[in-house]
Chains A and B, each alone.
Chain A
Amino acid sequence: MAVADDLRETLRGALDRMIPADDDPGALDLDCDRFVLELLDSDAELAAFYENGLRNLHAEGFDSLPPDEKDRLLSELESCSSRDGWAVSPSAFVEAMAQHAMEGFYTHPKGWQTVGFEVTL
């Protein structure tokens, strides 16, 4: 397992804020959590990076925050290149999650539909 069980919820919660569901699906609806877990399975360095980022996010009480508070915390982290207790750069961590969420979401045919990328062949 690339991510410890107790951090799965943190990962899901963070990805949900990267691409929230509205009238269109969000990151979790299109299995972006599975996409990230598969990435981490094939990349030990990335897995360790995530492990540290998620562990710290969890420690900051992320899981139990309401959505707008989650966003506020993520924005704050996005602007910090280092932070007490964090071995990885919080901004790099948020940036990586944003990239990976988009990679899972906008390569999915249902993600294409949200922007109007219509495929004819």
Chain B
Amino acid sequence: MSHWDVVIAGAGAGGGVAAYVLAAAGKRVLLLDRGRWLDFATTGRDHLRNHRLATYGHNTGPELVGNPRVFVDVHGTEHVVAPNSSDYHHNASAVGGGTVVYGGQAWRFHPLDFRMASTYGSPSGSSLEDWPISYDDLAPYYELAEWLVGVAGGPPSSQMPERRGYPMPAHVLHRKGRALRAAAEKMGWETQSVPLLMNSVPWDGRAACSNCQQCVGFACPVDAKNGTQNTAIRRAIETGNCRVWDQAVASSLSFEAGRVTGLRVFRCGSWHEIKADAVVLACGAIETARLLLHSRTAQEPNGVGNNSDQVGRHLQGHYYPNAFGQTDEPLWDGIGPGPTTATLDFNHGNDGVIGGGLLADDFVMLPIIFAKWWRPPGAPAWGQANKDWMREGYRRSLMVTGPVHEIPSPDSRVELSSRVTDRFGIPVARLSGTTHPETVRTAEFMEARAKDWLRAAGVREVWSKPQALRLSAGQHQAGTCRMGVDPATSVVDPWGRVHGHENLVIADGSVHVTNGGFNPVLTIMALAWRSAERLVGVNVEFSPLSD
């Protein structure tokens, strides 16, 4: 078919959900991704080549050769980096995008996360702003995403609004979680279970989680992890209205007389002009910005949506303050995936800092990660003493961590490199800038709370990785095409449509004005639903019971 109702570039979290909504509404959809269909068999369990530790590669796309980016460090020096470098700020390329290998924490943002500037004021030099929509606007779509993709969890903390329950009960509580709950209670902190996009019971025709020890960064051996590839995209295909092309790279938008008419796509060795009534971009916050900047017309000579020089700015992610230490008795019971217990007491209302974030326990840690990341300062790096420390410490280790609401900077940005191109000769993304210094202060505040929590759990010596000013984008990348009502200060309108282009919608983390004090994926999914629905003009409901 040469003409589609909608073509979607990027089959990750946002693109996958948009595909489902559009296909369920009867639209003929072409969903394409530069990555491949992947599963456990094709991604494996290499502890040095995965999306938690990518020392020598990773287990999704893109290929390490032919897809560079340029990273500008804090001294202004440019580095050409490969996809497995942390400076590449990669998420994951595959049908399903990041959701194939993610940790599946399924947080809603806090109502005040949408109103950061009016709650705290916007510090000078930052681009902290309110969202043009509120929590209440998004709440129904959060619920739809929770049921479509499948969340397991318990009731929310009293810090959050009431909501309907999840389709599945919370995952098993392990010993570390029990210890942290007891410690929180001692301090008068409230805790809740960590909502996870993983089956705690058999669901949606797939197995329950086997509580294995190698979850985050890997695909699931029993297909109990709910990504878009096995939920939203599968259901989109089942409608009969959606075709998926994997290994298909979108390079730029096509136009007639300034109106978007489709996408230029490379697949199976040649270039294709894909025509569609509407285009949805969901390539992730870095690649969506790059595609817009690379699509130029007489009316928009600096890139589509970029007449106000906003595309690519406000690139943000999350700082992850943490605290680490050892309990007297081993608490390791090996029950995965790992995050069981969170507090939302410090997301807002903290004296002297802007915002805050959640704190929780973490995924079961791979031994090599323990060895590389968690040696305390001054401890021996090799030899008998290091081996003893590993043996003694691994099963007694306890960690608390969580994402901090970033205070964005307009100078943290994606541009096109003027000298480096990819395997097609297209300029690659150039990443530069850092977050605003206020983010570091908030991260330090949260680090202190993480330490409090461990000490209350009986950890005598607590340490952390120090916080420093840097670019944070990474796996939680967001903000490069922010949403707003004013085209002078934003790229898309409150429905994800690029200003001035009613048939061009952005449905990924790019549109976040700020990135919440929570992992972002559920918000990306909810927004994609809402924007896709608006594009077709009909409400799309979902209930697994109606199957």
Q: Give chain A's interface residues, CB within 8 Å of chain B.
A: 17-20, 22, 24, 26, 39, 71, 74, 78, 94-95, 97-99, 101-103, 106-107, 111-112, 114-121
Contact = CB atoms under 8 A, between A and B. Distances in A.
6 contacts: A18-B383, A97-B382, A102-B368, A107-B48, A116-B394, A120-B334
Contact of B212 (A94, A111, A120): A120
A102 B372 contact: yes
Contacts of A20: 383-384, 387
B390 interface: yes
A86 B32 CA distance: 52
A101 B395 CA distance: 21
A16 B387 CA distance: 12
Contacts of B367: 106-107, 111-112, 115, 117
B334 to A, nearest CB: 5
A49 B6 CA distance: 53
Given A112-B367, A117-B366, A78 B390 contact: no
A106 B371 contact: yes
Given A111-B367, A120-B334, A106 B210 contact: no
Contact of A119 (B46, B212, B368): B212
Nearest to A97: B382
A114 B391 contact: yes
Contacts of A106: 47, 366-368, 370-371, 390
A115 B391 contact: yes
A97 B366 CA distance: 20
A68 to B, nearest CB: 10
A24 B391 contact: yes
A30 to B, nearest CB: 12
A18 B380 CA distance: 10
B381 interface: yes
Main secondary structure of the interface of B (DSSP, over half): loop
Given A19-B383, A117-B213, 11 more contacts: A74-B382, A103-B48, A103-B368, A106-B366, A112-B367, A114-B391, A115-B395, A116-B330, A116-B391, A117-B367, A120-B334
Contact of B210 (A102, A118, A120): A120
Contacts of A116: 330, 332, 391, 394-395
A17 B221 contact: no
A97 B48 CA distance: 16
B55 interface: yes
Main secondary structure of the interface of A (DSSP, over half): helix
B222 interface: yes
A115 B370 contact: yes
B178 to A, nearest CB: 19
B330 to A, nearest CB: 8
Contacts of B390: 106, 114-115
Q: Which 6 pairs between the two chains have the least Cβ-Cβ distance?
A: A115-B394, A98-B382, A121-B212, A106-B367, A107-B47, A106-B368
A44 to B, nearest CB: 15
Nearest to A121: B212
Contacts of B222: 121
Nearest to B221: A121
A54 to B, nearest CB: 16
A22 B384 contact: yes
Contacts of B381: 78, 94-95, 98
A121 B210 contact: yes
Contacts of A114: 387, 390-391
Contacts of A94: 381-382
Contacts of A111: 367
A107 B387 CA distance: 14
A112 B231 CA distance: 34
Contacts of B307: none
Interface in B35-68: 46-48, 55-56
Given A19-B382, A106-B390, A115-B391, A120 B368 contact: no
Contacts of A115: 367, 370, 390-391, 394-395
A102 to B, nearest CB: 5
A106 B384 CA distance: 15
B393 to A, nearest CB: 8
A114 B390 CA distance: 8
B327 interface: no
A112 B367 CA distance: 7
A68 B395 CA distance: 29
B211 interface: yes
B488 to A, nearest CB: 48
Contacts of A24: 387, 391
Contacts of A120: 210-213, 334
Given A98-B381, A117-B213, A120-B212, A22 B368 contact: no
- Tell me which of B211, B214, B334, B387 has the highest count of chain A C-beta atoms within 10 A of its own C-beta: B387
Interface string B205-240: 000001111100000011000000000000000000
